[in-house]
Amino acid sequence: MSTKSILKKSSITFLEQYLNNASPTGFEAEGQKLWMEYLKPYVDTFITDTYGTAVGVINPDAPYKVVIEGHADEISWYVNYITDDGLIYVIRNGGSDHQIAPSKRVNIHTKKGIVKGVFGWPAIHTRKGEKEETPKISNIFIDLGCETKEEVDKMGVHVGCVVTYPDEFMILNDNKFVCRAIDNRMGGFMIAEVARLLHENKVKLPFGLYITNSVQEEVGLRGAEMITKTIKPNVAIVTDVCHDSTTPMIDKKVEGETKIGKGPVVTYAPAVQNNLRELILDTAEEKKIPFQRLASSRVTGTDTDAFAYSNGGVASALISLPLRYMHTTVEMVHRDDVENVIKLIYETLLKLENNETYSYFK
């Protein structure tokens, strides 16, 4: 399978639609519906749970179960306090970056539909003194163009409404995908593409495959924690994003060195099962898929941790997509890496043996 042939025009059309749709943590359902509709021709059935995790299943009756997983949610804000003169203060829903907020346009999601607003900021002319105030949760605020709290109420905006950025998908220099929420809607897209390739290449897997798009990763891996108890998998291959540490102001001695365009990133961490990881690395070498390595100290900070430590221990591994500018509205990945992550997961599935335990004690 040549890398060049992986992403079809229809794939990119879906990717754009999927990224542009807002799916903030706790409110992922509309995005999940789009994802399931795309996945429908390639799977036998679906599982969904109370909080909105969606799973496309191939061979649902097979006793041995393999998960490939991404997460569906994006960071956002909650409306937290509305002043008498109609300004809105926010709290985080996930790891939203206060420093990028000033002068950003926002969408506030209400029962009446989307209400537009902006994060205001005092003009440079008015910021006197030696030390300028930097943006922080206590001083960033949203302006809806209202003069009173009553006007805000009439628009349907209240405490607890979720706030997202409207920034949409674009392609830079032919091969860089840029958008908010690439972390980790790109993961959901990549596992869906694996399912499409299995279908188009008429692959018959000997085990059950659970293509899992988990909710609520950004607030503590919560969706994965729930769904792994439902599926009870034997193996989990998780895909998420990691940092391109070659951009300015990042310390490689702390973050390691990974770069967009250099291939999927395979993680070493306590939660990563060594035999499963080595199978992935052997697959990459055999199929000449470029890859990079990354070490995580105690936790991976991804859904890998939730799967690994569930159900008495599930053999788990992490294949990451290097990304620039995480948790901003201009997250950037390389098309080649996207295709190579898809290819690496696909080729690994073809090498996975039914009923393999990955035991260290054979």
DSSP string, 288-343: T---EEEE-SS--SSHHHHHHTSTT--EEEEEEEEEBSTTSS-EEEEHHHHHHHHH
Token digits for 245? 């540490």
Q: What's the pLDDT tens digit per position in 265-303?
A: 999 999 999 999 999 999 999 999 999 999 999 999 999
71 is in an annotated binding site: yes
Token digits for 299? 């936790």
pLDDT of 3 above 70: no
- Nearest Cα residue to 320 out of 288, 296, 353, 297: 296
Q: Which fold has domain 9-74+180-351?
A: Aminopeptidase (3.40.630)
- Nearest Cα residue to 120 out of 105, 142, 153, 98: 142
Q: What's the pLDDT tens digit per position in 140-169?
A: 999 999 999 999 999 999 999 999 999 999
d(CA 235, CA 45): 19
- How many residues in total does the chain contain? 362
d(CA 94, CA 73): 9
What is the model's pLDDT at position 129?
77
d(CA 315, CA 325): 31
Token digits for 13? 């059309």
User: Domain boundaries in the chain?
Assistant: 9-74+180-351, 76-164
- Nearest Cα residue to 195 out of 57, 359, 16: 57
327 is in an annotated binding site: yes
Contact present, 20 and 169 (Cβ < 8 Å): yes
Q: What is the CA radius of gyration of the chain?
A: 21
Phi, psi of 237 (to 5 degrees): -110, 115
Task: Tell me which of 342 and 128 has the higher pLDDT.
Answer: 342
- Nearest Cα residue to 209 out of 236, 238, 188: 236
d(CA 127, CA 50): 48
What is the model's pLDDT at position 69?
98
Best CATH choice for the domain 76-164 from the list 2.40.30.40, 1.10.3720.10, 3.40.50.150, 1.20.1250.20: 2.40.30.40
Cβ atoms within 10 A of the Cβ of 85, count? Answer: 12
**Residue 74 three-state SS:** strand
Q: Considering the chain, what is the average pLDDT of its residues?
A: 97
Q: What's the rounded mean pLDDT across residues 164-181?
A: 98
Token digits for 281? 């690395």
What is the model's pLDDT at position 5?
73
- Nearest Cα residue to 267 out of 227, 239, 290, 247: 239
Q: What's the rounded mean pLDDT across residues 65-88?
A: 98
Cβ atoms within 10 A of the Cβ of 204, count? Answer: 7
What is the model's pLDDT at position 221?
98
Q: What is the DSSP string of 142-158?
A: EE-S-SSHHHHHHTT--
Which pLDDT band holds residue 128 (cuts at 50, 70, 90)?
Answer: confident
What is the model's pLDDT at position 132?
86
243 is in an annotated binding site: no
d(CA 310, CA 332): 32
% of the chain with per-residue pLDDT over 90: 97
337 is in an annotated binding site: no
Catalytic residues: 217
Q: What's the pLDDT tens digit per position in 199-242?
A: 999 999 999 999 999 999 999 999 999 999 999 999 999 999 99
What is the model's pLDDT at position 303?
98
CB burial readout 326-362, b (16+ within 10 A) else e = bbbbebbbbbbbbbbbbbbbbbbbeebeeebebeeee
pLDDT of 4 above 70: no
Q: What's the rounded mean pLDDT across residues 95-115?
A: 98
Q: What's the pLDDT tens digit per position in 6-50?
A: 999 999 999 999 999 999 999 999 999 999 999 999 999 999 999
109 is in an annotated binding site: no
What are the residues whose beta carbons fall under 8 Å from the beta carbon of 20, sequence distance 6 or more?
168, 169, 179
d(CA 236, CA 47): 16
What is the model's pLDDT at position 362?
86
Estimate to the nearest angstrom the gap between the alpha carbon of 189 and the chain centroid.
Answer: 9
What are the residues whose beta carbons fall under 8 Å from the beta carbon of 186, sequence distance 6 or more?
15, 19, 70, 177, 241, 321, 333, 338
